[in-house]
Amino acid sequence: MAVPARKTSKAKKRLRRTHQKLNFPEISVDEATGDFKRSHHVSRNGFYKGRKVL
């Protein structure tokens, strides 16, 4: 069984784990309805960039 010759330092361990994180979606306020929506997505009411699309 393979065993590392030296203990991995805290810095090396943390550098390796920096990519393991959650990405939260960007949320903005729709100008037409005042509701919250994700950026570059149609709102629940069918508005996109202040215009009715659905």
- pLDDT tens-digit profile of 12-41? 999 999 888 888 888 988 777 788 889 888
What backbone torsions phi and psi does residue 27 show, to the nearest 5 degrees? -120, 130
What pLDDT shows up at residue 30? 78
Give 44's pLDDT tier (boundaries 50, 70, 90). Answer: confident
Cβ neighbours of residue 9 closer than 8 Å, sequence gap 6 or more: none
Residue 31 is encoded by which pair of tokens? 């100008």
Nearest to 28 by CA among 17, 19, 41, 15: 41
What pLDDT shows up at residue 23? 87
Strand partners, 38: 27
Place of tokens 């629940």: 44
**pLDDT of 1 strictly over 80:** no
**pLDDT of 9 strictly over 90:** yes
**Cα distance between residue 15 and residue 22, in whole Å:** 16
Q: What is the pTM of this model?
A: 0.49
